[in-house]
Amino acid sequence: MTPLVARASTMIAAEPARILDAFVEPDMLSRFWLASASAPLRLGQASHWTFLVPGAEAEATATALDRPHRLAWDWSDGTGVEITLEPEGAETVVAIACSGFDGSAETQVATALVTTEGFAIVLADLKTLLESGQSAGLTAAKARLIIARGC
């Protein structure tokens, strides 16, 4: 089976450096995605990420940090994430790819689909935050749904 890659992308009316910082700095991450991050993402250094769903935690270790165009990290579950930022006029194209899913083919497909949905929500919430100054609470709403439905 060809390795699966979960992908999500959007345009955000913000400079690439500002978008990259939102994924690197704990104070920004907690405004649209995480409950907390123990440290900024730095090459080769682990940061403990606590998500909004109780018990959902991971170590994130930056593997690439090419300011302001690219950021990549590995999560402690073996998956890897790459974010690319490409200026397009007054906006920036933000593309996320996540790969390295484990398990049976069926499990990998299911995980890739859930991951794609998750990153689409994260990008939508980040877009709202950077363009309006306030999170729309989309990631938090999804976390509440996961908690309520137990999935």
Question: 3-state SS string over the chain?
Answer: CCCCEEEEEEEECCCHHHHHHHHHCHHHHHHHCEEEECCCCEECEEEEEEECCCCCEEEEEEEEEECCCEEEEEECCCCEEEEEEEEECCEEEEEEEEECCCCCHHHHHHHHHHHHHHHHHHHHHHHHHHHHCCCCCHHHHHHHHHHHHCC
CB-based contacts of 143, cutoff 8 Å, min separation 6: 51, 52, 53
The domains of the chain are located at 5-149
Mean pLDDT score, 41-45: 96
pLDDT at 101 over 80: yes
Confidence of residue 47 (pLDDT cuts 50, 70, 90): very high
Decide which of 3.30.530.20, 2.20.28.10, 3.30.565.10, 3.30.450.20 is the CATH code for 5-149: 3.30.530.20
Separation between Cα atoms, residue 61 and residue 130, nearest integer Å: 24
Instruction: Express each pLDDT in 106-132 by its tens digit.
Output: 999 999 999 999 999 999 999 999 999
Task: Work out the pLDDT band at 3, boundaries 50, 70, 90.
Answer: confident
pTM: 0.95
- Inform me whether the pLDDT recorded for 151 exceeds 80: no
